[in-house]
Amino acid sequence: MFPTSCQIALKEWAVTVKALDRGEQILLLRKGGIREEGRDFQVLYPEFLLYPTFEHQKEELLKETYHPDLHTVLSQGYDKANITFSHWARVEEVIELTEQEKVDTLSPYHIWTQDYAQKRLHWKPRHPLSIMLLRLYQLEEPRTVPYLPGYSGCKSWVQLSQDVSLGNLTPILTDEEFSSKVSKVKGALGL
């Protein structure tokens, strides 16, 4: 059963949302933003809207095959007065990693460079890197809400000032496709 609306959003690079939308990736790497509550990342909400962000996306942080996607995202620009949501996600599982070799085995399953993934692991070394396995759904139609200053900053979670109607949600991947991708990720980790 799905909710009819959502008021929680997780910030993620717009280029990553594009890869998730195409079903090329089902995971997010999280360690926490600079202004994270508690100073480290926690999966506070199992379901949320994806809030596409445009800060910090850089070509050198992405595998070369995803550079055109970044150029497309950046060339389209964005409306600084509004946020448009097109996807809702459910966390299927969170895996915490502390070993670089485990993070390295995930390279085929995400768009970031190995160097970027390693830097995420080694930032705040006393905290594990959270690997969020997401089941992604497309909203019935994109929903736009006004941007508020409280949404800014290097933080992962945003409590929106209003509910966003989800409409009928359509899974990006079929159950079989999603299960297969989860098995491959977990297999790479030896789980």
Q: What is the pLDDT of residues 90-143, one digit of tens each?
A: 999 999 999 999 999 999 999 999 999 999 899 888 889 999 999 999 999 999
Q: Find the helix packing angle between 14-21 and 67-76, rounded to 10°.
A: 120
What average pLDDT does this structure show over 156-182?
97
* Residues 111 and 16 sit within 8 Å (Cβ to Cβ): yes
Question: Virtual CA dihedral for 115, 118, 119, 121, nearest 10 degrees?
Answer: 170
CA distance 117 to 110: 9
> What is the model's pLDDT at position 34?
52
pTM of the model: 0.92
CB atoms within 10 A of CB 190: 7
Tens-place pLDDT, residues 9-23 = 999 999 999 999 999
Of 34-48, 49-63, 141-155, the range with the lowest mean pLDDT is 34-48
pLDDT at residue 6, as a whole number:
98
With cut-offs at 50, 70 and 90, classify the pLDDT of residue 39: low
Phi, psi of 119 (to 5 degrees): -65, -35
Q: Enumerate the β-bridge partners of residue 53.
A: 13
pLDDT band at 38 (very low <50, low <70, confident <90, very high): low
Does 32 have pLDDT greater than 70?
Answer: no
Domains of the chain, by residue range, sit at 5-188
- What was the pLDDT predicted at 127? 84
